[in-house]
Chains A and B, each alone.
Chain A
């Protein structure tokens, strides 16, 4: 059977070989050492679209889709409502089958969308400039730490211990290549040493608690360090943005803005900073300019920071900007708009607080942290969190993240606008029952 993706027929191939002046395609491979050409490849036999769709559906169905479960799991990956309009726009193949917009004249759709994205993200974080996006929140945090080292000429990065441990791991990986050292600090640290390039803080932190940003900002700046904030974009629908507290670089995971979980990827690394650090930024930037007839248009700009121009002196090796995921974020922010995003944030807030209060009322359960929280909180359980999660799962509920390796008997729960009151009540009911079985 001919491949649906290869239009050349045998007759075409013969005509082309004749034109080239060779008898067979393999003559074109003459530079390949002969004994290594046309070696066997052990791969499954090809199947048709019809057969593979059925097989992939079986594989997909073997997973517990959150469309069929109530979900109280967050920990850096959040399930929020995605209006259908987002997928319909990102599903336009004029967007998704294009490359990075090097030829601006035929890429205005992508470029103007990036400009919108950069603008919306700045409005959201309160920061002055945003790049076009990075791989995910964790790599954006790592790049922020590297950038802070470039800006300050120092090579020590301080990280609050309440930052998502996976983000800290990624920062370690990125710092590992360079002479940069990472230090973990408790949230109530007294001061930073003068050799600190930056302080990295997550708001709300990994355990859902809101940190005292004003106080950590003052301590960071007193030591001449930059303040890097890992923000939560949905929370910014209601809380004062990190810029108000003096953040120098704000990064975030942007998946929650209009993209499905996709088992954790692709994500979107939001990366914003103060204008004065613009030239040290990693990643792509789209800028507005004029064409030769005086009409407004957009281009990729300030590319002299980037690998394809600056090579070994680039600010990063990154090329991709997760364009399609940032397009989804731009569309999502515009769909929700000023009041919609506020409403999403408040729905999360009230439902999470309703759930936390109900659980704290149960015999044997308590909230671990007294701090204010947004949509995630840690509960200490009378039985192992594992048992609770298993009991919840039997009732078609995906429970929280079991933290017992670091915090005894603790469970990190997340409540969003996707969770109905009846789901929350069901979860509380199961927790009550399991807690009483002690």
Chain B
């Protein structure tokens, strides 16, 4: 087989991948020639060649079904197969969003019940499934914060506080919502520096966005004090729920004082990541923010369900109701686990992460030596002495058949390695990963060049990212 080719390379005039029916009505006159194109240069490929091409591409990928994927903050857990089957049922997949409401009672019920389950899981009053991704859920939260303060005549609150350990989306979202940001530092134990928060929390602050557990995988024991401080000075506490997998069925955000939290169905609720979407980012709020939720919500009037717009809604986030196909899978997941099953998820996720921490800390620097929750952050700074960077360690892991952890995040940890095993991995898999990490630590001392040249056994070797950015080649032409 040819080593590298693209669609135009298997295209030839006259080929096609699909036969369409003949026209069964009397044709009308076509529009004038100046309105029509003659330049539509799409590839012409036979169905078989096309299937082979994309099958070959799929074989160059690494997914959760391929192997261990401990990408910190991304919760790469196993995606149950039967969820794919139910999401494709014609009554879910082949339904138009503008069909009469009385022709879609099953879809409304699914949305309504999932709204309720997510509110219960987070301990908040109401949830909206409209956001189509985690970052959009964050945006919904920030826009609600803005609307809330404006309604109270406090438009002067123009700053969102963001911890230095936050995901990049948090500050980016604050700016999209029209706010400025100020960064709250972490303390030496990996918690929020409460003295700094105290000093920064004034009447210009609209909200603090907080990931809990934070991106070091640590649960901030000062959480009740943080919430009290923020609220006492008129601010709101917004949660980034990316790390909910560690709290499922055990702890509720609402109990801890959060006003709003955004979730990621594609992380916590086992819907596939799709290679970068589609996901879904529901947002859950308490009664204070409920009037501002995005449009629409599914509400019940007796047994009848219908779409409704909250009174002070921030508006519409998408053309329909959110990523319904993703909701079906998350619904199936919650119903199949129940409260006890969700608790088992978080407990096993936390156990697996702590097990890795214990096994790896002798060989890699552990910046915060205390129990973590679902993920553990290490640092490659010990290996840096041998001239090996975290990037090299990550690339070498590929040779051992593992997807690397998240690297260089959180930004405040030098040479960060953020490992999230999830609950769907066995002790044997974790032991094999530990074995590879220890082997790599040894290689870093004995043969650093082996790591710097890694990976060696992948479809391509290290790619020149600088050249890609300097001279962008973003498409073919034919």
Contact = CB atoms under 8 A, between A and B. Distances in A.
Interface stretch (B197-205, B231-239, B337-345): B337-345
Interface stretch (A189-197, A216-224, A344-352): A344-352
Contact of B51 (A13, A89, A119, A240): A89
B177 interface: yes
Nearest to B428: A7
B291 interface: no
A178 B178 contact: yes
Contacts of B27: 350
A112 B57 contact: yes
A93 B63 contact: yes
A119 B93 contact: no
Contact of B17 (A68, A327, A334): A334
19 contacts: A8-B427, A28-B350, A39-B251, A39-B252, A57-B86, A61-B91, A93-B272, A97-B273, A126-B39, A166-B316, A173-B317, A238-B36, A289-B465, A296-B4, A307-B171, A336-B17, A338-B41, A346-B23, A350-B23
A307 B135 contact: yes
B98 A73 contact: yes
B233 to A, nearest CB: 22
B251 to A, nearest CB: 6
B277 A323 contact: yes
A372 B34 CA distance: 13
Categorize the interface residue count of chain A. 35 or more
A98 to B, nearest CB: 4
Nearest to A303: B469
Given A52-B332, A105-B460, A261-B97, 9 more contacts: A41-B342, A56-B328, A91-B84, A99-B74, A109-B58, A170-B319, A265-B318, A342-B40, A398-B103
Given A321-B277, A333-B42, A119 B476 contact: yes
B91 A53 contact: no
Given A389-B100, A417-B20, A95 B63 contact: yes
- Nearest first, the 3 closest Cβ-Cβ pairs linking A and B are A264-B320, A60-B91, A264-B97
A159 B246 CA distance: 45
B40 A288 contact: no
Given A5-B424, A73-B98, A324-B274, A314 B25 contact: no
A336 B467 contact: no
B94 A67 contact: yes
A130 interface: yes
Contacts of B220: 31
Interface string A23-38: 0010111111100111
Interface string A45-86: 111110011011111111111111001010111010101010
Contacts of A138: 316, 318-319
A187 B146 CA distance: 34
Interface string A84-108: 0101110111111111111111111
A20 B355 contact: yes
A36 B341 contact: no
B355 to A, nearest CB: 4
B320 A319 contact: no
B319 A101 contact: no
Given A29-B219, A324-B277, A340-B18, A291 B173 contact: no
A409 interface: no
Interface string B86-109: 101111111111111001111101
A377 interface: no
A106 B177 contact: no
Contacts of A21: 358
B40 A56 contact: no
Interface string A316-329: 11111111110100
Contact of B143 (A177, A286, A331, A351): A177
B36 A239 contact: yes
B176 A178 contact: yes
B172 A311 contact: yes
B166 to A, nearest CB: 9
B229 interface: no
B254 to A, nearest CB: 10
Nearest to B395: A105
A393 B57 contact: no
Chain A CB within 10 Å — which of B4, B57, B278, B355 has the most? B278
B426 interface: yes
B86 A77 contact: no
B385 interface: no
Nearest to A421: B24
B102 to A, nearest CB: 9
A88 B51 contact: yes
A23 to B, nearest CB: 13
Given A92-B55, A297-B460, A310 B351 contact: no
